[in-house]
Chain A
Amino acid sequence: MKIVVYLRQVFGPGYDPVSPDRRGLAEEGAWFDLHPIDAQALEQALLLAESVPSTEITVIAAGPERVERVLRAGLAAGASRAIRVASEALEQPLPDDISVAISLAQALKDAGIPDWLVCGDGEDSAVPALLAELLNLPLSNALNDLALEGTAIRASRRLQRTTQQLVLQSPRVLGVLRGPMLRYPSLSQRHSAAIAQIETMSPEPAQQGTLLCSERTTAPKPIKKPEALGADANQRVLDLFCGGVSGGGGSKQVLDGSVEEMADTAASIAVGLTER
């Protein structure tokens, strides 16, 4: 069985990527990390591989030399081969998804299409689906809890309100939503990964994607989290059940009377909030 895991390198936690003039990205002095979902997808792949002795796991990443760090993390965790895909379009900090996918797809065609192409998935993911399209493979995304069943994979797939139980055959692109925490490599594993060979592939893009010009990247405006139950639902429920304590923000009620009264008030709020 052959598994390829696609790994992304992202700015490390706590790093503010916006440049001091607030109009672009600052890479200088940045620290980077393996994308947390990709780390979980990798662990998921490693666990799948453990049950089939001859499995070969390759990690692949696209970008400048700095992405070799996430590849070495993949090698330390147990991958046996690492490929960095390099091209001019991938040098910038925010390459277009289509450019990334075209380069990766070309490299994978050269390196050999695996049985399972595992990618971290999320609401903003496009690369797993783009790879499926470019490699002419089926895609199963939004997956959790993968397990091998013979040569197939059994997984659950999270849709908006429902969860499907699936049995999947290879070859296929798998988009993994969540997985177990990535194992912590031993010192000797990290040492061998640090000196391991990383293959670099610079595929000639066979086709040109249609792209948008990235005009600027700035600090985000603060986003107000939309409340699931409507902006004033909490206030309404509190007003209704707590005798209309309201006013500028603070609408706190402190009850220290009878247990009955407390339970009654709290139950009203809880049930009111969970009702739709």
Chain B
Amino acid sequence: MSAIWVFIESDAAELDGYAQSLLSAARGLAGRNEMPVVAIAVSAVSDAEHSLSSLQGENVSRLLCLEAGTDELDSSSISQSIAELITERRPRLCLFPASPLGRELAARIAIRSHSALVTNASWFGWRQQQLVINRPVCEGRASQTLLAETAEQVVVATVADGVFPVTPAAQACETALEKIELTAGEAVPGSETLSESITRAVDMALDEIEVIVSGGMGLGDASGFELLAELAELLNGRVGASRMVTDQGWIGMEALVGQTGTVVSPSLYIACGISGAPQHLIGMRDSGTIISVNKDANAPINQIADLVLVGDLYDIVPRLIDEVRSRSSVQGVAS
């Protein structure tokens, strides 16, 4: 019987939230048509059992485990194996994460298996037996509805992280393990990895960061940013700024938050000495928790803040740094 396939990228013993979200999407769609959900994973020889145990309770009927002889993931041979499996077994839909690897596999496999390709799918449904897919287009300004041409057409789709909520499986079934030897393709020369390390907050763009500590004219001069940078680093975040401050040249334009800068929505936004002009608020009002440090209890930014600390930032921020540092060393939060 035709199935919904999900490519699981991580080979950890526990599924991450992204994989759970893809499986939830697949279950939601498969359930409405009484189809099985099949997972595909790539692992080094010993990891198949890991992958299998991570799928417990996920209502996945089968795990197709592509076993590579080495740790080197070769996207071309993975694509070839999955494309052959698709051509042979014809699932209705094959989901991939929109990660760098997922994007590459989805495209290569769609071509090799003569499947249709949809990026960034946001909704799946059936119309009789035909697959219906929605996806945002035009930078999210419109939503496109796509329809499979026949009930047999295979669709390969990528899905961004967090688009489908994680829902627990209503039923559970035994997952059959099927090991498939990955046929090593001809080695593709020309790419050497020199090093790999955890991405540091300073290397991320402002709109990817979970914590931003912003400074405004209340800092008095450029040196105030050293203080804010210290706090930001403790919280694995980055420094932001208001326009008046970037106009003064106290910090570069890449730090500017607001209408003419970056629009951000971190989990935590700490505004220090920022009055909260509308042009600034537009850029940060969707942040999770907003803390404002300001001498003026009536500064406009305080109206949208969750916590307002009224006082001189040069009194409060050093103390805050001490407090965060002492808690972090106990709880092991920051490096």
A269 touches B288 (CB 8 A): no
Which residues of chain A are near B75, meaning CB under 8 Å? 139
What 0/1 pattern do residues 298 to 335 of B give for CB contact below 8 A with A?
00001001111111000110011011100110010110
B308 touches A255 (CB 8 A): yes
Number of interface residues of B (CB under 8 A): 95
B116 touches A141 (CB 8 A): no
A98 within 8 A of B: yes
B104 touches A141 (CB 8 A): yes
Distance (Å) between the CB of A269 and the closest chain B CB? 6
What 0/1 pattern do residues 158 to 192 of B give for CB contact below 8 A with A?
10101001000000000000000000000011111
B2 within 8 A of A: no
The closest CB in chain A to the CB of B159 belongs to A123
B149 touches A17 (CB 8 A): no
What 0/1 pattern do residues 224 to 261 of A give for CB contact below 8 A with B?
01111100011001100010000000011111100110
In angstroms, Cα B288 to Cα A233, docked, is 9
A129 touches B103 (CB 8 A): yes
A178 touches B333 (CB 8 A): no
Q: How many A-B residue pairs have CB under 8 A?
A: 280
Distance (Å) between the CB of A51 and the closest chain B CB? 20
Q: Which of B27-35, B51-59, B198-206, B222-230 binds A?
A: B198-206
Q: Which of A77-85, A161-169, A182-190, A194-202 binds B?
A: A161-169
A192 within 8 A of B: no
A141 touches B100 (CB 8 A): yes
A20 within 8 A of B: no
Which residues of chain A are near B297, meaning CB under 8 Å? 254, 256
Which residues of chain A are near B98, meaning CB under 8 Å? 123-124
B291 touches A266 (CB 8 A): yes
Number of interface residues of A (CB under 8 A): 90
The closest CB in chain B to the CB of A156 belongs to B203
A1 within 8 A of B: no
In angstroms, Cα B329 to Cα A267, docked, is 13
Given A225-B286, A262-B316, residue A94 in contact with residue B144 (CB < 8 A):
yes
A140 within 8 A of B: yes
Given A178-B205, A253-B307, A270-B235, residue A212 in contact with residue B148 (CB < 8 A):
yes
A48 within 8 A of B: no
Distance (Å) between the CB of A55 and the closest chain B CB? 19
Q: From A96, A166, A259, give the contact of B311 (CB < 8 A).
A: A259
Distance (Å) between the CB of A213 and the closest chain B CB? 5
B291 touches A263 (CB 8 A): no
Given A212-B149, A254-B302, A263-B323, residue A126 in contact with residue B106 (CB < 8 A):
yes
The closest CB in chain B to the CB of A164 belongs to B196
Which residues of chain B are near A126, meaning CB under 8 Å? 103, 106-107, 117, 119, 158
Which residues of chain B are near A162, meaning CB under 8 Å? 196-199
Given A215-B146, A219-B142, A237-B289, residue A133 in contact with residue B111 (CB < 8 A):
yes
Distance (Å) between the CB of B247 and the closest chain A CB? 18
In angstroms, Cα B195 to Cα A275, docked, is 27
Which residues of chain B are near A54, meaning CB under 8 Å? none
Distance (Å) between the CB of A30 and the closest chain B CB? 10
Which residues of chain A are near B132, meaning CB under 8 Å? 215
A65 within 8 A of B: no
B117 touches A213 (CB 8 A): no
In angstroms, Cα B143 to Cα A94, docked, is 11
Q: From B116, B197, B265, B267, give the contact of A229 (CB < 8 A).
A: B267
Which residues of chain B are near A265, meaning CB under 8 Å? 307, 309
B194 touches A165 (CB 8 A): yes
B119 touches A169 (CB 8 A): no
Q: A126-B106, A269-B306 are in contact. List 16 more A-B contacts (CB 8 A).
A: A11-B139, A16-B141, A25-B142, A125-B119, A133-B79, A140-B191, A156-B203, A159-B199, A165-B193, A175-B100, A212-B153, A217-B144, A252-B305, A259-B319, A267-B324, A273-B289
A selection of 23 A-B contacts at a CB cut-off of 8 Å is A11-B139, A15-B141, A125-B119, A129-B103, A129-B108, A133-B111, A139-B104, A141-B103, A141-B104, A165-B196, A166-B192, A167-B191, A212-B146, A218-B143, A238-B306, A256-B297, A262-B316, A264-B323, A268-B327, A269-B307, A273-B289, A274-B211, A274-B267
